Amino acid sequence: MSALTLSTSSAATLRADAVVIGIAKGRPSGKAAVSVAPGGEAVDTAFGGKLATTLDTLGASGAEGEVTKVPAPASGVKAPVVLAVGLGEAPAEGEPFAPEVLRRAAGSAARALSGTKKAAFALPVEDVAAVAAVAEGALLGAYAFTAYRGNSGDAGKDAAGKKSAKAEKAGDASAPLAEIAVVGAKPRDKEHKAAVERAQVLADEVHRARDLINTPSNDLTPKTFAAQAQAAAKEHGLKAEVLDEKALAKGGYGGILGVGQGSANPPRLVRISYTHPKAEKTLALVGKGITYDSGGISLKPAGHNETMKSDMSGAAAVFGAVVAAARLGVRANVTGWLALAENMPSGTATRPGDVLTMYSGKTVEVLNTDAEGRLVLADALTRACEESPDALVDVATLTGAMVLALGKRTFGVMANDEAFRTAVHEVAEDAGEDSWPMPMPAYLRQGMDSPVADIANMGDRMGGGLVAGLFLQEFVTEGTPWAHLDIAGPSFNESGPYGYTPKGGTGSAVRTLLRLAEETAEGGLG
Ligand code: BES
Ligand code: MN
Ligand code: ZN
């Protein structure tokens, strides 16, 4: 994890390997195609006020995500390199840059500086929200998954799984930017300090989720995932309980067992909880944790299974968010449920046509073993409701249909209560995560009518993401405000990195869930 400091020094005199400044589109003075954003004044002065013209000459446009490196002038700037990152259109006179614009720009800059030791970020930080955004973006952009690089499986990691100093040393082009100084922030200001501390914990926990998602399924099984939850609980003072396959059988968790029974790696249900002594409300979070989704007997064809190690992204997000809430001392109780199973075909696997008796007592005809996420979630949702939380949110890479509907960067939000759905959508936007409210049309329920059981695990193909939501709703106890986030699109980035989003596991929903916990503490939810 990169170190982050707040600095009152001028960007020009700060000892660093690079200075990051922002540039916006437009020709306010009628000269250059770009303008230097607030925060970059000292650097511009060292360029004799010609930094915008220089960047213009180099073809910089100020577009979001654009990165242009220029050598520092002979004198006036201590760092050898100036990196200009695009901020898009400048906001209206007197308005600040949007936090998400700053977050993405800081992320793009941090990525472009991997292999560098220390960078000073001299971006427009006019308020505490901007300080937080720059800190978050830079930290989230400074990520690399290197555990499997080199000649040993644990290359770069010590026995505790921490990256060694060697792996993080500067000069290694794949090593993330090691030190981030946010210039213009106030190191002695309480709010600024809190914002930075929050950004650090947040980025840490997003990185925890990304690492879990990127870990291949031969190393991340329900058992090893559960062990990591227990270890983190111990480290950060949370409580963790793990139900193994025997306990699951005793408890009647037919959904989780049915999905996991075909695998040599048996399933687990983890309850990881954080309690605050002064908490008034409890938020329950449920995550889909399919450590590998082969589809089971309804096997996925080649071309659809290569990224299915990421089918535990929901559980990873819940895990990260619960630990983040604990580390930040959020004044709410947060209970995470990780529904962990590996979906494999074998002689012991659930067959299409089998009927499972779920934890709730309802029976499910499994028409398609590839619709496994809703089965493990159903048991966890019913179990979570027994504790009467004030609000319940599940997160899952649930359907390909949601990816078709919303694309790869937006998750769907469904809920049994319209006001709650709106609240979750708004909290996500606040956190800098793209989401969209989706309906749960009642007529789609009849597509899941089964001739032999209470419900089938599949219904109409059209609107498949909504059908999955309707299935889950059957296992939520009435009266519990519940929302369902289908993160199948944004959880795993198969194309190139952008902003603070790396290739591979993204840590989607961690930031939204942490904000939800904070809102719960502030009494705004549940
Ligand atoms: N894990 C998949 C959904 C998924 C697809 C996640 C693509 C990420 C990217 C899920 O278990 C699944 O297979 N869903 C089926 C449901 C269908 C059989 C009703 C799907 O979406 O095709
Ligand atoms: Mn599946
Ligand atoms: Zn799945």
The answer, yes or no, to whether any atom of ligand 1 lies below 6 A from the CB of 293, is: yes
Sequence length of the chain is 526
Which residue owns the Cα nearest ligand 1 atom 17? Answer: 371
Q: How remote is the CA of residue 296 from the centroid of ligand 3, in Å?
A: 10
**Short-list 138, 141, 236, CA closest to 183:** 138
pLDDT in tens, 304-339: 999 999 999 999 999 999 999 999 999 999 999 999
The pLDDT value recorded for residue 30 is 62
Q: Which residue has the higher pLDDT, 514 or 149?
A: 514
Per-residue pLDDT reduced to its tens digit, 396-405: 999 999 999 9
368 lines ligand 1 (CB under 6 A): yes
Let me know the angle formed at the C-alpha of 398 by 472 and 377, rounded to the nearest 5 degrees.
Answer: 40
Backbone angles phi, psi at 447, to 5 degrees: -65, -20
Mean predicted confidence (pLDDT) in 257-284: 98
pLDDT tops 60 at residue 170: no
Which atom number of ligand 1 is nearest to the Cα of residue 290?
Answer: 1
Write down the pTM of the prediction. 0.96
Give the contacts of 188 (CB within 8 A, at least 6 positions apart): none
Q: What is the pLDDT of residue 26?
A: 77
- What's the gap between Cα 467 and its chain centre? 25
**CATH for 3-186 (3.40.190.10, 3.40.50.300, 3.40.220.10, 3.80.30.20):** 3.40.220.10
| Ligand 1 atom closest to Cα of residue 465 | 21
**Which residues 6+ apart lie within 8 Å of 516 measured at CB?**
283, 321, 391, 393, 424, 427, 525
Instruction: Please report the pLDDT score of residue 187 as a whole number.
Output: 87
Name the residue ranges covered by the structural domains of the chain: 3-186, 201-521
Question: What pLDDT score was predicted for residue 82?
Answer: 98
Separation of alpha carbons 310 and 505, rounded Å: 7
156: pLDDT strictly greater than 90: no
Grouping H, G, I as helix, E, B as strand and the rest as coil, residue 14 is coil
CATH architecture of the domain 201-521 equals 3-Layer(aba) Sandwich (3.40)
Give yes or no for residue 296 CB within 6 A of ligand 1: no
Does ligand 1 have an atom closer than 6 angstroms to the CB of 403?
yes
pLDDT for the residue 526 = 63
Q: What is the pLDDT of residues 18-69, one digit of tens each?
A: 999 999 997 656 678 899 999 999 999 999 999 999 999 999 999 999 999 9
Ligand nearest to the CA of 490: 1
Residue 268 CA to ligand 2 centre (angstroms): 18
Asked if the model's pLDDT at residue 153 lies above 50, the reply is no
pLDDT of residue 502: 98
372 CA distance to ligand 2 middle (Å): 5
Pocket test for ligand 1, best of 259, 343, 399, 467 (most atoms within 8 A of CB): 399
Active site residues: 300, 374
Q: Give yes or no for a contact between 406 and 494, defined as CB atoms under 8 angstroms apart.
A: no
Check pocket membership of 240 for ligand 1, CB cut-off 6 A.
no
Cβ atoms 369, 349 nearer than 8 A: yes
- For ligand 1, whether the C-beta of 378 sits within 6 Å is no
The pLDDT of residue 162 is above 90 = no
Query: Which tokens is 139 given?
Result: 């930290």
Compute the distance from residue 190 Cα to the ligand 1 centre, in Å: 46
Cα–Cα distance measured from residue 407 to residue 489, given in angstroms and rounded to the nearest whole number: 6
